[in-house]
């Protein structure tokens, strides 16, 4: 807690890892923390988040969160800190909002290669009043879809960017 707010801090490491995807078949993956998908990051709307990203890979990477956050925390090349080179690190700091189930992924190009090699994970922001019981609609939703009430009840600061790629 800091100033009455819950603070959540994570450290994720980009790592090159050979993963056996079938007996005797090895895939040269690029991972968050050596696993695909990367660790699930879960928090509650209103939390202060500090995500320390350490690039231990031999390739440049970044962390890009879907959701609402300041532009300089968007993790895309040439915006804010942008690309995190091998051996470097950066801490993304932003508020958890709005609630929903989103992705995080590397946003360094070629984007398809970085994601296909394994650099993605799930980012869950729970509503402050707790989660509603699941409905058939929510069970069918995708990782980037959130209930329409989330948009209706949340505000978007003018300095924030809404990310969908
Ligand atoms: Cu990457």
Span 82-103, average pLDDT: 97
Q: Residue 2 is encoded by which pair of tokens?
A: 């800091």
Q: How far is the CA of 108 from the centre of ligand 1 (A)?
A: 5
Q: How far is the CA of 132 from the centre of ligand 1 (A)?
A: 34
Which residues, including other chains, have CB under 8 Å from residue 98's CB and lie 6 or more apart? Answer: 45, 67, 68, 125, 146, 150, 151, 153, 154
Task: Tell me how far the alpha carbon of residue 132 is from its chain's centroid.
Answer: 23
Task: Tell me how far the alpha carbon of residue 21 is from its chain's centroid.
Answer: 24
The pocket of ion ligand 1, defined by CB under 5 A, consists of 61, 106, 108, 114, 119
Q: How far is the CA of 100 from the centre of ligand 1 (A)?
A: 24
Res. 11: pLDDT tops 60: yes
Place of tokens 């809404």: 162
Q: pLDDT band at residue 134, thresholds of 50, 70 and 90?
A: confident
Q: Which domains does the chain have, with CATH numbers?
A: 7-163 (2.60.40.420)
48-55 and 7-22 beta bridge pairing = parallel
Q: How far is the CA of 53 from the centre of ligand 1 (A)?
A: 12
In degrees rounded to 5, what are phi and psi of residue 98? Answer: -80, 180
Res. 142: pLDDT tops 70: no
Q: b/e for 59-87, b at 16 or more Cβ within 10 A?
A: bbbbbbbbbbbeeebbbbeebebbbbeee
Q: How far is the CA of 106 from the centre of ligand 1 (A)?
A: 4
Span 7-21, average pLDDT: 97
In degrees rounded to 5, what are phi and psi of residue 7? Answer: -110, 130
């Amino acid at each position: 807690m800091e100033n009455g707010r819950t603070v959540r801090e994570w450290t994720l490491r980009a790592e090159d890892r050979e993963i056996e995807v079938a007996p005797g078949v090895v895939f040269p993956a690029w991972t968050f923390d050596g696993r695909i998908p990367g660790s699930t990051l879960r928090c509650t709307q209103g939390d202060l988040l500090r995500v320390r990203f350490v690039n231990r890979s031999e390739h440049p990477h970044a962390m890009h969160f879907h959701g609402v956050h300041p532009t300089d925390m968007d993790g895309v090349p040439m915006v804010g800190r942008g690309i995190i080179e091998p051996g470097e690190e950066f801490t993304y700091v932003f508020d958890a909002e709005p609630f929903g189930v989103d992705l995080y992924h590397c946003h360094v190009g070629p984007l398809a290669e970085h994601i296909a090699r394994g650099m993605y994970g799930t980012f869950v922001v729970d509503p402050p009043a707790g989660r509603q019981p699941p409905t058939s609609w929510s069970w069918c939703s995708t990782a980037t879809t959130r209930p329409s009430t989330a948009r209706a009840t949340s505000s978007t600061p003018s300095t924030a960017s809404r990310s969908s790629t």
